[in-house]
Amino acid sequence: MQSAIVSSWGQFTRRRFLTLIGFGAGAGLLSACAGTSQPSNPGAAATAPIATAASSGVSTAPPAAAAQQPKTGGVLRAASLTDLIPIDGHYHHPGNGLSSWIVYEPLIVYDDNLNPQPLLAESWDQSTDGRRISVTLRKGVQYHTGREITSDDLVYNLNRILDPKISAGIFSGFIPPDTTWSASDKYTVVISTQQPWVNVFDFFSLFNMVNKESVEGPNAQSSAVGTGPFTLVEWVQGDHATYGKNPNYWMSGRPYLDSIQLTIAKDAQAQEVEFESGALDFTLLPAIIDFNRVKDDPKFQPLTLPNPGGFFILQPNPNTPPFDDKRARQALNYAIDRQRIAQTILLGLEQPRDLPWPPGTPADEPSKQLLYNHDLDKARSLLAAAGLVGTSFETLMSNTNPAYNAIAQIIQGDLESIGVTMTITQMNQGSMLARMNAHQFQAYMLGDVWSNFQPVTVLTADASLNYRVNNADFHDPQYTSLVTAASTEVDPTKRMQLYSQINDFLLDACFDLPIASSSTRALATRQLHGIGHRRNDFFTFTDAWLG
């Protein structure tokens, strides 16, 4: 049997994953003392039907047609702007259920109340102090190669994610220092920590199980082998991917579809034209203006994942002029007209926010939202005090979402009115990632995710707010102390008090500027049924069927 120890934080790289777009589901507070759990239908949480969007933009119950008897067979024709790069199951990227993530599976899934439900983990037992958890794998689950997964595979996967070259540091914030794990029998792994692991189930829900022989084999960069309901049959980078039905899937009778044919769209307009012409059954992340335009068309289903946990953000670089002066970052925050952006660009479907927390979550404080209420006079005054009147800077953004540029243009116009020049630079995903990892930017606009998990996860593992390693390379002893305390506090009430102090710090430091919520949306034909979701903003197709 294998074992491993995480000896210190120092082994992790400062290189961070760029979160390209924030969508998702909402949050709740999960006790650190969850016990053994195994519902009668272990796949139910992973394949729960998502809500449809009413004309008001509010999620409603699924249509009655969802109760029809599922049919087996058929090819789902889908499209997405996001390619599978990278294809490695240990590299989290915004494929939203149409990437290689439908090939892989994690240990658990959350229901919509943030309660962990078994998936590859059949059961678990966690100590009351949150320092030890025993995980038992589901027996008989096979990789697509036909080999059964065992505790050795879980230990291998835990060891592998520690390599920053593989995971780009995405999972480093989850695992407490001096954590150990070892296999106690063929299907059980015991994990021990020196401090309470408050967000262990967040980690379990994001941590995919890959196959050692495949990820270390000669085709590791072009193939994906997991345990999921679909296998990756073919991938032509930048063009299409074909997924086939896993004939040996552990969940009896699933999946219903024979295959999924994914087109990698060249641009959002082409993707929408193809969908509306009838050439597609499902289109992921349509432009919000297109979603709003067709959501009441009886031919289509507007789909919105419940309880959004993503955010549009603007992140200035606190180590580069002019934003190495906190007053310039605060001025930029005052210059953002969140209400106008939410109503005109996001068409009232999203909510303006100052802090990165969805309503009702443990860290959300309504009284502190929208404190930076569009005040150009205040912004001008701060810039004058810093000697930065007439300053200029560049803002980078991905070309994957038309809303980015539209939002940036509003901010650009307001800044121009107070004598500040903001240059907008749109980039492709790969180029953007390179600039972000090298911290070569003055500001960028993209999206954050995971606010629908425990706040500790956002503060310790998110690309923009991680107190140790973040896109802006921001570090502060007070911030480190507050987040460290919150991430080890098992008492939910005391943790909420720490969150309040963290909110005050975020509002003052202004190194990450939320703009508005961002929900994961899709459009489907009325012939598609049974689309589900995971809480980490991914659509699932285990129960999907055509009829």
Predicted local confidence at residue 433, as pLDDT = 80
Confidence of residue 11 (pLDDT cuts 50, 70, 90): very low
Confidence of residue 94 (pLDDT cuts 50, 70, 90): low
Q: Is 81 inside a domain boundary?
A: no
What angle do helix axes 492-509 and 477-487 make, rounded to 10 degrees?
Answer: 160
Max intra-chain CA distance, the chain: 68
CA angle 75, 81, 84 (to 5 degrees): 75
Query: Which of 163, 196, 219 is where one domain is finished?
Result: 219
CATH number of the CATH domain containing 20: 3.90.76.10
What is the spatial distance between Cα 172 and Cα 446, in angstroms, rounded to a whole number?
A: 22
Q: Is 37 in contact with 136 (CB distance < 8 Å)?
A: no
Reply yes or no on whether the pLDDT at 104 is more than 80. Answer: yes
Q: What percent of the chain has pLDDT over 70?
A: 86
Kindly report, residue by residue over 329-348, the tens digit of the pLDDT: 999 999 999 999 999 999 99
Q: Does residue 468 share a domain with residue 344?
A: yes
Mean of per-residue pLDDT scores for the chain: 86
* Of the listed ranges 16-25, 245-254, 307-316, 533-542, the one predicted with least confidence: 16-25
CA dihedral 39, 43, 47, 48 (to 10 degrees): -20
Query: Which of 219, 252, 284 is where one domain is finished?
Result: 219
- Count other Cβ atoms within 10 Å, centred on residue 165: 8
Reply yes or no on whether the pLDDT at 7 is more than 60. Answer: no
- How many domains is the chain partitioned into structurally? 2
Predicted local confidence at residue 26, as pLDDT = 29
Residues of the domain holding 346 = 310-518
Q: Does residue 316 share a domain with residue 211?
A: no
Confidence of residue 25 (pLDDT cuts 50, 70, 90): very low
CA dihedral 113, 364, 55, 522 (to 10 degrees): -60
Confidence of residue 31 (pLDDT cuts 50, 70, 90): very low
Q: Is 377 inside a domain boundary?
A: yes
Q: Does residue 468 share a domain with residue 329?
A: yes
HEC string of 233-270 equals EEEECCCEEEEEECCCCCCCCCCCCCEEEEEECCCHHH
Q: Locate all alpha helices (DSSP H) within 61-220, ordered by sequence.
A: 151-160, 164-167, 200-206, 212-215
Buried-exposed string 115-150: b where 16+ CB fall within 10 A, e elsewhere: bbbbbbbbbbebeeebbebbbbbbeebebbeeeebb
Q: Does residue 314 share a domain with residue 434?
A: yes
The answer to whether the peptide bond before residue 218 is cis (omega within 30 degrees of 0) is no
Q: Does residue 375 share a domain with residue 485?
A: yes
Q: Does residue 315 share a domain with residue 187?
A: no
Confidence of residue 95 (pLDDT cuts 50, 70, 90): low
Query: Which of 168, 201, 219 is where one domain is finished?
Result: 219
Kindly report, residue by residue over 128-139, the tens digit of the pLDDT: 999 999 999 999
Average pLDDT over residues 214-229: 95
CATH number of the CATH domain containing 387: 3.10.105.10
Q: Does residue 496 share a domain with residue 352?
A: yes
Predicted local confidence at residue 343, as pLDDT = 96
Q: Does residue 315 share a domain with residue 194?
A: no
Kindly report, residue by residue over 459-483, the tens digit of the pLDDT: 998 889 999 889 999 999 999 999 9
Average pLDDT over residues 443-468: 90
Element of type H or E holding 124:
strand 121-126
Q: Is 470 inside a domain boundary?
A: yes
Predicted local confidence at residue 428, as pLDDT = 84
